[in-house]
Chains A and B, each alone.
Chain A
């Protein structure tokens, strides 16, 4: 689906990371593989340290911490918020929506549209799309987009496929109206036939958690996990990304009347270094324009990786400068989405810890 917006901008980005740092080596002993093989995996995939939430810390806690920081530092007034979007796969409860809980925590005005969106790897792009759509309304002037995931508790410690890369984090992005009429081009694509390539099988209504679902089984690669755990078909996901993402980016560039060189930064979802380098090769982008250093430093926190990538690699520079960016996310759903827009002159672009 091709979409186009005008007169919208990102006003600020705050990334909130857990304080706890876990190293690859610390967890390596839990895997059923010789050390030498695991160290090769570390090197090729670019794994090193990842940030993991403390026991009991939920996605919403990171959002609340971040919003409190934003209010305390005078970066946004409470009554300016017209919509509060919470994009996550780790809500506090099945009901009520976590966005309502956060609204209640801060006592925000009743004229606030609260909305939970169940999206993962493409959650930043889908969240921005929703924010842009809301901002088409006369009465909506500022949208707070919260991307947050704490999925590490759902990954088996005996799963070398997913454990070394999982990260927990949240990001708060303020999206607002602007007079700048520059076009924002968006592409969103979905393929539900691949929905089970990334799944937590048990714990929902279809398969409630039970003693049985908690039993760990070995897969064909030598990983152990239960039905309560996140499971990823790595080969299917890799093939899907390499097949679908490069043509989506090429089509989006064409629609925007640009070439790959016109983009200053390719801020992409961060599954691992290997996959990002393969994507850069296929799209025809130098590695220097597509940062791939988020997994090695912080882990992959699904929809939070793109704002983290922007905060970490550009930091305060983005408060003075403006760049043509291509944002992209791809994964669970299956969903893949991309946006070409100018991002810059932000009122803040920071990382805090909680």
Chain B
């Protein structure tokens, strides 16, 4: 879980991210960030997501649940 959070932080160009953080509040949250997450997850977790799956998440916690679920 910690590893995933740090990879998400890297994609979003943040120092750290927390489960309660709202995705839309990140400075670089946009379609590029979503593509970055899709790519990172496919490389590291061998799972394929669509942009809509990622958009349906509100917080970092939701995103982690989706990716690791």
Query: A37 touching B38 by the CB < 8 A rule?
Result: no
The docked-state distance in angstroms from the alpha carbon of A221 to that of B35 is 11
Say whether B66 faces chain A, with CB atoms less than 8 Å apart: no
- A-binding segment of B2-10, B14-22, B24-32, B57-65: B24-32
The docked-state distance in angstroms from the alpha carbon of A104 to that of B24 is 57
Nearest chain B CB to A93 CB, angstrom units: 35
Say whether B34 faces chain A, with CB atoms less than 8 Å apart: yes
The docked-state distance in angstroms from the alpha carbon of A243 to that of B31 is 20
Binary per-residue interface labels of chain A (22-65) against chain B in the complex, 1 for a CB within 8 Å, 0 otherwise? 00000000000100110011001100000000000000000000
Query: B34 touching A44 by the CB < 8 A rule?
Result: no
Query: B27 touching A242 by the CB < 8 A rule?
Result: no
Nearest chain B CB to A200 CB, angstrom units: 20
The docked-state distance in angstroms from the alpha carbon of A40 to that of B31 is 11
* A36-B27, A234-B51 as given contacts; A239 in contact with B38, CB under 8 Å: yes
The docked-state distance in angstroms from the alpha carbon of A281 to that of B40 is 13
* A242-B42, A278-B39 as given contacts; A235 in contact with B51, CB under 8 Å: yes
The docked-state distance in angstroms from the alpha carbon of A234 to that of B36 is 12
| Chief secondary structure at chain A's binding surface | helix
Nearest chain B CB to A347 CB, angstrom units: 41
* A220-B55, A242-B42, A243-B48 as given contacts; A235 in contact with B35, CB under 8 Å: yes
The docked-state distance in angstroms from the alpha carbon of A238 to that of B40 is 12
The docked-state distance in angstroms from the alpha carbon of A161 to that of B13 is 21
The docked-state distance in angstroms from the alpha carbon of A238 to that of B38 is 9
- Residues of A with C-beta under 8 A to B51: 220-221, 234-235
Say whether A247 faces chain B, with CB atoms less than 8 Å apart: no
- Residues of B with C-beta under 8 A to A136: none
Give which listed residue, A37, A45, A274, A278, contacts B30 with CB less than 8 A: A37
Nearest chain B CB to A164 CB, angstrom units: 11
The docked-state distance in angstroms from the alpha carbon of A250 to that of B35 is 25
Query: A238 touching B31 by the CB < 8 A rule?
Result: no
Query: A40 touching B38 by the CB < 8 A rule?
Result: no
Name the residue of chain B whose CB is nearest to the CB of A235: B51
Say whether A236 faces chain B, with CB atoms less than 8 Å apart: yes
Query: B34 touching A235 by the CB < 8 A rule?
Result: yes
- Residues of B with C-beta under 8 A to A243: 48
- Residues of B with C-beta under 8 A to A45: 32
- Residues of B with C-beta under 8 A to A235: 34-35, 38, 49-51
The docked-state distance in angstroms from the alpha carbon of A348 to that of B47 is 45
- Residues of A with C-beta under 8 A to B34: 221, 235
Query: A41 touching B39 by the CB < 8 A rule?
Result: no
Nearest chain A CB to B45 CB, angstrom units: 13
Nearest chain B CB to A127 CB, angstrom units: 30
- Residues of A with C-beta under 8 A to B43: 278, 281
Say whether A286 faces chain B, with CB atoms less than 8 Å apart: no
Query: B28 touching A221 by the CB < 8 A rule?
Result: no
- Residues of A with C-beta under 8 A to B38: 235, 238-239
Give which listed residue, A44, A222, A236, A239, contacts B42 with CB less than 8 A: A239
Binary per-residue interface labels of chain A (149-175) against chain B in the complex, 1 for a CB within 8 Å, 0 otherwise? 000000000001100000000000000
Query: B35 touching A234 by the CB < 8 A rule?
Result: yes
* A239-B42, A242-B42, A243-B48 as given contacts; A40 in contact with B35, CB under 8 Å: no
Can you show 8 pairs from A to B with CB atoms below 8 A apart?
A37-B28, A160-B31, A220-B52, A221-B30, A234-B35, A235-B38, A238-B39, A239-B48
20 additional A-B pairs beyond A220-B55, A222-B30, A235-B34, beta carbons within 8 Å, are: A36-B27, A36-B28, A37-B27, A37-B28, A37-B30, A41-B30, A44-B32, A45-B32, A160-B31, A220-B52, A221-B31, A221-B34, A234-B51, A235-B49, A235-B51, A238-B38, A239-B38, A239-B48, A242-B42, A243-B48
Chain A residues close to B by CB (< 8 Å):
33, 36-37, 40-41, 44-45, 160-161, 220-222, 234-236, 238-239, 242-243, 274, 278, 281
